[in-house]
Amino acid sequence: MIDKGPFRAGFVAILGRPNVGKSTLLNQLLGEHVAIVTARPQTTRTRILGVVNGEGYQLALFDTPGIHKAKGPLNKRMVETALSTLSEVDVALVLVEAATGPGGKVEVGETMQWIAAELRRRRKPAVLGVNKMDRVPREVLLPVIEAYRSLYDWAEVVPFSALTGENVDRLGPALARHLPVSDAPLFPPDVLTDQAERAIVAEYVREQVMQQTRDELPYAAAVEVEEFDESERRDDGGLIRIGAVVWVERESQKAIVIGKGGSMLKRVGTRARERMERLLGAKVFLRLTVKVEERWSERLEALRRLGIAP
């Protein structure tokens, strides 16, 4: 809760390296599984907007792809998406991990220096979020904070755990203090995200493909929803029929996703359907197929078709 004063509302970009916990944090703040989460880097491919309403403020948060040294059209597009978001927001929330290296030393990597340089160039106020505080003793937090403090003139520094929710309630007010005064919220109170249901269910399938295949399948798999039939949907539930294609780049990858006797694809579909039914409030009939499109991640037209590039 912030001090009583004028209502504040604005846009916030969540930035950081891959796997620093950006999507987990967005889901924690929203109280809903909007951004998919896996243990693999570069899971988030496009920016996702989540709307958080607090006492005296509204945050429109962009979860962005992890910033890294990109190779190939897909990864380059992801990094461009993350950095371009900075020009559209009022405040940046930059995440780092609460971790030290050998001898308790904290290494401020090249990526964080790159992010700080972009913030200075664009003259953006920024809050430093030190995530994963649940994984370290409290005495580790101070050297981590001190290591990053000189990197940029941070408006605020907030340690927290996106996984457990500890201290996350401090982030909203910390960000809100640096948002512009607004006559009214930017979004109606019942708006949670700008993602269409069709896009979210596609991501639920991709999340399960990545989680269930683990190290067997490169992360360059994509999902395209071809059917989203709501003709049997009702206010009290009903049925939604969804047909989706899992695109991979090689026949060997197709065999992995399908699994022996279709076992892997069945497991992916069952887990994804469970999430869909919670999100949509209806029963879901889900039909999944797997198709091969060679080198799709290297072709702009394929990235556009799959919603990864504009």
Q: Which residues pair with 93 in a beta bridge?
A: 14, 127
Distance CA(245)–CA(143), nearest Å, equals 47
Do the Cβ atoms of 267 and 235 come closer than 8 Å?
no
3-state secondary structure of 54: strand
Q: Tell me the CA distances in angstroms from 157 to 127, 128, 149, one per residue in order.
A: 6, 5, 8
CA distance 48 to 295: 25
**Both structure tokens of 265:** 């694809």
DSSP 217-265: S-S--EEEEEEEEEEEEETTEEEEEEEEEEEESSHHHHHHHH-GGGHHH
pLDDT score for 241: 97
Query: Do 10 and 91 meet the contact criterion of CB atoms below 8 Å apart?
Result: yes
- The Cα 38–Cα 19 span in angstroms is 8
Low-confidence ranges of the chain (pLDDT < 50): 1-2
Task: State the DSSP string of 58-84.
Answer: EEEEEE-PPP----SHHHHHHHHHHHH
Gap between the Cα atoms of 15 and 78, Å rounded: 12
pLDDT tens-place string over residues 94-136: 999 988 777 778 888 888 888 888 899 888 899 999 999 999 8
Q: Read off the pTM.
A: 0.77
Task: Dig out the tokens for 135 from the structure.
Answer: 């994984």
Token pair, residue 27, equals 């889901």
Integer-rounded Cα Rg, in Å, for the chain is 20
Domains of the chain, start order: 8-176 (3.40.50.300), 197-305 (3.30.300.20)
Reduce the DSSP state of residue 1 to 3 states and report it: coil
Sheet holding 237-248, edge to edge: 222-234, 237-248, 283-292
- Dist. CA 306–CA 220, nearest whole Å: 12
**156-159 sheet: strands from edge to edge:** 48-54, 57-63, 8-16, 91-97, 126-131, 156-159
Distance CA 75, CA 263 (A): 31
> Rounded to an integer, what distance in angstroms lies between the CA atom of residue 70 and that of residue 19?
15
Structural element, H or E, at residue 140: helix 138-149
> How far is it, in rounded angstroms, from Cα 284 to Cα 269?
11
Q: What three-state secondary structure class fits 132?
A: coil
**pLDDT score of 107:** 82
The pLDDT tens digits of the residues spanning 241-283 come to: 999 999 999 999 999 999 999 999 999 999 999 999 998 999 9
